[in-house]
Structure 1
């Protein structure tokens, strides 16, 4: 059972409207409905009477609402106490996508001009959706993410601010052939498609690659061979000679320098991204302010 399901249900118990609660919870109505159904499956009873409008809670829903309210009160009280204790220890919580957490974050952290005994950082690697939600819900101090005008991270400017702290290039790469040119190169042909090591379509890099391909005039002939959300896994497959993968430059800088991977296409097959750091507006704990003030 996911705690978000309880929060969803309590919102629905208050608004009595799926559409309004979905908006309040920052999810689509279909996703919100699925989460309520998942909670009902976990409870083992219908919690909402969907035959009336506005909807009403079933007897089981009323009973569960009371218990859920008390459970959330206790959880939130405990979290508040723990956060106070954690703030005393000055832990900086940073949420980031997996590629940034692994390849960009360590060097960025080393660049900060702070004594090691005053800097305690907890990195929370996850997907883009969950990392953004972590900032919105106050579960992290900083959000590290990619940004492109065609694939923006949309956060309320009245609540959040950001700084541009770096740049990234996502490019297609392959192992080299005997001549040093790529063993697999774009765009490929219908009779000889390029073996493709791709991202899932709903992942951020998956959307980046889709946008790259849509901007190039010539068709790209790919044969899907392997799929993952993690750039590091695709890098491993590319190094093993299984095909072409679009990878962030920070992930493959050493491979490019050593020649174990080479570009598999021209600049038209690449995309430049910003690296942004977001935070909530307003004063924060001293460690957050100290780090934020060092950002360009």
Structure 2
């Protein structure tokens, strides 16, 4: 007995007419009639009263119709579920990251773990604030979030109780500025109370700005800054700093090439550097079928 025979019988029960049912099922009437006859032979009873117009189902046929509807519905739902499982298994894992991490950390990390074919960067996330990443994880907009994180105590307005993380790297924020004509920093820390240094800062609600401010508060030497611009993306801060508008803190990976070329110089000694950790977060109650396997792989592989 084939599923399509059951579908034929359901169509016949709805149309009460062999010709219309055959047309609906896209078969000839002789073929359709033969299938119904095979069903009756399989069940050992007459299912259709052919003496009435329109035709009717026998009591056995009415009972068989309920069975056909139950079976075909179960098959339909199972097919849909199997299709979803197949789609999920082939769907790439989506990772969100800020612009600087996306450009300077993620490519090397993907290469290291050979994940280029399994993990897909989420380009819409490059200008998000920290809380945005956790909200996106919570609503399954992304599967992983690559985040900078303070290595020292900083008050962050983010609830991470429903998430877990792996530390995958470290980074340092270094204060930089354009050089003057003699190659010295145009804006050297710490500045003066009466002449604060122009600063190109990060978004005031962003993690990096909070980490920088917390670090400066811990130093015994005061720092005098005047914020000229606030920006989310590191690339924009770097461009304004290179153009000489002020100093700014950049991830060392982002600043290194410009430092090597002399396009930028350090605006202060190492005590002004701000240490960061790079963490990979996921939601504990995630829905991606391939994420647990990847997470286990990352836990077993040294960073």
TM-score normalised per structure 1? 0.64
Q: Once the 2 structures are TM-superposed, how far is the Cα of residue 147 of structure 1 from its aligned partner?
A: 1.6
Q: Once the 2 structures are TM-superposed, how far is the Cα of residue 203 of structure 1 from its aligned partner?
A: 1.4
Structure 2 partner of 1:139: 141
Structure 1 partner of 2:21: none
Query: How big is each residue's C-alpha offset from its partner over 1:133-165, in whole Å with a ceiling of 9 and x where there is no partner?
Result: 111233221111112241366511xx4321110
Query: How big is each residue's C-alpha offset from its partner over 1:27-67, in whole Å with a ceiling of 9 and x where there is no partner?
Result: xxxxxxxxxxxxxxxxxxxxxxxxxxxxxxxxxxxxxxxxx
Structure 2 residues not aligned, in runs of 5+: 1-80
- Worse-matched range after superposition: 194-203 or 278-287: 278-287
Helix, strand or coil at the partner of 1:185 = coil
Give the 5 Å matches for 1:1-296.
Answer: 86-114=87-115, 118-123=117-122, 124-125=125-126, 126-148=128-150, 149-151=152-154, 154-156=159-161, 159-281=162-284, 284-286=288-290, 289-290=293-294, 292-294=296-298, 295-296=301-302
Query: How big is each residue's C-alpha offset from its partner over 1:61-83, in whole Å with a ceiling of 9 and x where there is no partner?
Result: xxxxxxxxxxxxxxxxxxx9997
Cα pair distance change 1:129/1:287, threshold 3 Å? closer
Cα pair distance change 1:286/1:223, threshold 3 Å? closer
Tell me, in whole angstroms, the C-alpha distance in 2 between the residues paired with 1:229 and 1:121. 22
Q: Once the 2 structures are TM-superposed, how far is the Cα of residue 85 of structure 1 from its aligned partner?
A: 6.4
Tell me, in whole angstroms, the C-alpha distance in 2 between the residues paired with 1:81 and 1:131. 30
Q: Once the 2 structures are TM-superposed, how far is the Cα of residue 234 of structure 1 from its aligned partner?
A: 0.7
Asked which structure has the greater CA Rg, the reply is 2
Cα pair distance change 1:234/1:83, threshold 3 Å? farther
Structure 2 partner of 1:55: none
Q: Once the 2 structures are TM-superposed, how far is the Cα of residue 272 of structure 1 from its aligned partner?
A: 0.7
Tell me, in whole angstroms, the C-alpha distance in 1 between the residues paired with 2:186 and 2:97. 33
Tell me, in whole angstroms, the C-alpha distance in 2 between the residues paired with 1:103 and 1:209. 20
Q: Is the 8 A contact 2:95 2:119 kept in 1?
A: no
Helix, strand or coil at the partner of 2:97 = strand
Tell me, in whole angstroms, the C-alpha distance in 1 between the residues paired with 2:186 and 2:83. 54
Q: How many residues align?
A: 213
Helix, strand or coil at the partner of 1:209 = helix
Tell me, in whole angstroms, the C-alpha distance in 2 between the residues paired with 1:293 and 1:282. 18
Q: Is the 8 A contact 2:215 2:274 kept in 1?
A: yes
Tell me, in whole angstroms, the C-alpha distance in 2 between the residues paired with 1:265 and 1:83. 55
Q: Once the 2 structures are TM-superposed, how far is the Cα of residue 86 of structure 1 from its aligned partner?
A: 4.5
Q: Once the 2 structures are TM-superposed, how far is the Cα of residue 250 of structure 1 from its aligned partner?
A: 1.9
